């Protein structure tokens, strides 16, 4: 069964947050590249502007730059040495995703009031100071699950899901189909 799309949820979302960035804390280069890449791809696909990566991992930054070159958009990966400085100087709301936090649906309206929003996704061991530095400690579910899923649901609530079509600068994009696959490519792509 095909589902007709009446446009992007982004256009219909009320109080949509325009500037959302993601901080990945506790990435372990060499051990977490797949999971952190999925965090970055999810952030990019759902409209975040940037991923701050602690500690820096040039290989992930290069992979995401290649994705941006092919699929368009303005998403960047920036390695940082001290995430605490970023948190202390952040001019908006800091949302720390944790299964121990308040339910997302209970606090989403308050989160949308302040902009920009920094969503923090922890790694294997989250420093206890992070709980104190966050504006909101938020749970998408109160059981163990993937931080990628929590990030996706949070970004959906903050920004809506992007509609189909190419992003600015895209060399290729998907044409939605009820059956089969269709990939469009810019004629002047290298």
Tell me if 4 is assigned to some domain: no
- Domain assignment present for 104: yes
Place of tokens 């989403």: 108
Q: How many domains does the chain have?
A: 1
The domain in which residue 111 lies consists of 15-161
Q: Classify residue 190: in a domain, yes or no.
A: no
Which tens digits make up the pLDDT trace of 56-113?
889 999 999 999 999 999 999 999 999 999 999 999 999 999 999 999 999 999 998 8
> Residue 182 falls within a domain, yes or no?
no
CB 23 within 8 A of CB 105: no
Which tens digits make up the pLDDT trace of 108-163? 999 988 789 999 998 777 888 999 999 999 999 888 888 999 999 999 999 988 88
Cα–Cα distance, 104 to 142 (Å, whole number): 10
Q: Which residue has the higher pLDDT, 129 or 30?
A: 129
Choose among 187, 155, 157: nearest CA to 170: 187
Q: Is 89 left (phi over 0), alpha (psi -120 to 50) or beta?
A: alpha
CATH of the domain at 40: 3.40.1280.10
Q: How far apart are CA 124 and CA 134, in angstroms?
A: 18
The candidate with the shortest Cα–Cα distance to 119, out of 106, 105, 104, is 104
30: pLDDT confidence band, cut at 50, 70 and 90?
low
pTM: 0.87
Establish if 85 belongs to a structural domain: yes
* Residue 9 in this model has a pLDDT that exceeds 60: no
Query: Tell me, what's the pLDDT at 37?
Result: 92
Asked, for residue 189, whether it belongs to a domain, the answer is no
């Amino acid at each position: 069964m095909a589902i007709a799309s009446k446009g992007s949820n982004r256009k219909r979302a009320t109080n949509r947050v325009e500037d959302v960035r993601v901080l990945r804390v506790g990435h372990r280069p060499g051990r977490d590249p797949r999971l952190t890449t999925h965090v970055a791809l999810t952030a990019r696909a759902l409209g975040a502007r940037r991923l701050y990566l602690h500690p820096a991992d040039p290989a992930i930054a290069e992979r995401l730059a290649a994705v941006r070159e092919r699929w368009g958009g303005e998403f960047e990966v920036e390695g940082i040495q001290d995430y605490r400085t970023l948190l202390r100087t952040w001019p908006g709301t800091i949302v720390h995703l944790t299964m121990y936090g308040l339910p997302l649906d209970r606090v989403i309206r308050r989160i949308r009031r302040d902009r920009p929003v920094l969503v923090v996704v922890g790694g294997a061991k989250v420093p206890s100071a992070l709980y104190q530095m966050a504006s909101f400690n938020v749970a998408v579910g109160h059981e163990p699950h993937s931080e990628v899923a929590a990030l996706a649901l949070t970004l959906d609530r903050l920004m809506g899901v992007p509609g189909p079509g190419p992003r600015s600068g895209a060399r290729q994009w998907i044409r939605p189909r009820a059956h089969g696959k269709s990939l469009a490519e810019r004629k002047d792509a290298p």
